[in-house]
Amino acid sequence: MTWLKTLRGGTLMSVGYMLSPLSWWNDLFFNLPIALVFGYGVSWINSSWFFPGTIIGYWLSNVLGIIMMQFGTMDVFLAGDARNLKRDILLGLGGATLYTMVVSGLIYFHILAMPDFIADLRP
């Protein structure tokens, strides 16, 4: 049973890493497509919500990645059920929110340029 828990934890850590802000180089392959699909889905409700929906989708994918990494780490390194779900979720929300605010601010103040293919998708 322990090896199954370790395998599950390793899988959660790997997938969580790909979604987390720690793998900034993977945003193009994972987080950005997820965010664009979320923004596109939200734009069906109101076409002017595409960009805010994309930011929210990006934030959610980062939160999911951080929480998956935390749960995977707990499975691999902690014995028993020493997991504190509330603390893990709050840490995930806080870290992903800070990261998303920094990236959104850099784009807003034109320090980072929005890629052309994203700007072309705006309705």
Helix or strand run (H / E) with residue 105? helix 85-108
The per-residue pLDDT for 3 is 83
In this prediction the pTM is: 0.70
CA distances from 76 to 8, 42, 71, 107 (A): 8, 37, 9, 37
Domain ranges of the chain: 2-119
Q: Tens of pLDDT along 48-87?
A: 899 899 989 988 898 888 888 888 888 888 766 666 778 7
Q: Over the stretch 15-58, which tens digit does the pLDDT of each residue have? A: 999 988 777 777 888 888 999 999 999 999 998 899 899 989 98
